[in-house]
Amino acid sequence: MQIVPMQKKHLKNVMAIEKESFGIDSWSLQFFQSELKSKLSHYICVIDKDNKIAGYAGCRMLFEDAEIVNICVAPPYRKLGIGKMMMRYFIDMWIDRKIQRAYLEVRVGNNVAINLYKKFGFETISTRKGYYKDGEDAYVMLLDINKL
Ligand SMILES: CC(C)(COP(=O)(O)OP(=O)(O)OC[C@H]1O[C@@H](n2cnc3c(N)ncnc32)[C@H](O)[C@@H]1OP(=O)(O)O)[C@@H](O)C(=O)NCCC(=O)NCCS
């Protein structure tokens, strides 16, 4: 498994994984395209030995703050440590870039993702009521990078 920068050529496969994984919350192709153009954003793909996309993730960075805006592993590749691999990559990059804090939002019922984030030191700091389209709440989680 290898981490590469996400490029336009990956978007067809990324979109298929995105739809399968997020359903009504899926991002549109146009949204991914504009994210790839943004100077504030950093997107990665994990590719396997056959060049197939196993997962992808994106974060935005503004001054000393970062936010994970998307992280997803294709269903056949889950529970193999790829989520952890992408989190480790981002945290190392943030330390390098002197980022102080990282935020993210997650469905309160998404225990798999919440466990992943807690493993890297993220803590729940607040709840956004009815944040998702179906009315589920979101936890806002924060990682204080100085505490690492
Ligand atoms: C959340 C997601 C990215 C995790 O990716 P993954 O590659 O399967 O995760 P990893 O194999 O690296 O596991 C990382 C940690 O997640 C947790 N985890 C993984 N699978 C789990 C499961 N079935 N149940 C509970 N916790 C689980 C564990 O804490 C695990 O660490 P451990 O193996 O040391 O115990 C993946 O499940 C996914 O893409 N889900 C759908 C999209 C999504 O919900 N994204 C997050 C939106 S906020």
The CATH number assigned to the domain holding 110 equals 3.40.630.30
Decide if 35 is catalytic: no
Q: Output the CA 84–ligand 1 centroid distance in Å.
A: 8
Residue 116 pLDDT level (bands cut at 50, 70, 90): very high
Predicted pLDDT at 42: 98
Alpha-carbon distances, residue 127 vs 29, 53, 109, 113 (angstroms): 29, 32, 12, 16
Residue nearest to atom 23 of ligand 1 (CA): 112
State if residue 40 touches ligand 1 by the CB under 6 angstroms criterion: no
Name the pTM for this structure.
Answer: 0.96
- For 116, the domain range is 2-147
Beta strand pairing status for 123-128 and 101-107? unpaired
Ligand 1 touching residue 80 (CB < 6 A)? yes
Q: How far is the CA of 118 from the centre of ligand 1 (A)?
A: 11
Domain count, the chain: 1
